[in-house]
């Protein structure tokens, strides 16, 4: 029983670290690097930003949507946040 509880705790902590790291990368790219100011659409920083704009909301809202069992919460949250970050 303890092994299962420790496994869930480890999974939860690793998810939390991944979420914080993903949002930290988003903050770094948007605020510190100003990827919106780059002229080249295919620049490496911009491609990283596009991926981060999808991964950070997905890591955040997919587990929360399953937890609260709200239909389409994951899809709406990922689409909304990704679009907002892309425009920002």
pLDDT in tens, the chain (88 residues): 677 877 888 989 999 999 999 999 999 999 999 998 989 989 999 999 999 999 999 999 999 888 899 889 999 999 999 999 888 7
Give pLDDT, residue 15.
93
d(CA 4, CA 56): 27
Look up the pTM and report it: 0.83
Distance between terminal CA atoms of the chain?
46
The domain ranges of the chain are 18-87
**Lookup: tokens for 51:** 């991926």
d(CA 83, CA 44): 19
Give pLDDT, residue 1.
63
């Amino acid at each position: 029983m303890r092994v299962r509880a420790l496994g869930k705790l480890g999974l939860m902590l690793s998810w939390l670290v991944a979420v914080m790291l993903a949002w930290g990368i988003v903050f770094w790219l948007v605020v510190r690097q100003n990827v919106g100011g780059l002229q080249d659409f295919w620049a490496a920083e911009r491609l990283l930003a596009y991926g981060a704009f999808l991964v950070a909301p997905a890591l955040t809202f997919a587990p929360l949507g399953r937890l609260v069992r709200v239909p389409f919460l994951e899809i709406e949250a990922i689409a909304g946040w990704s679009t907002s970050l892309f425009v920002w």
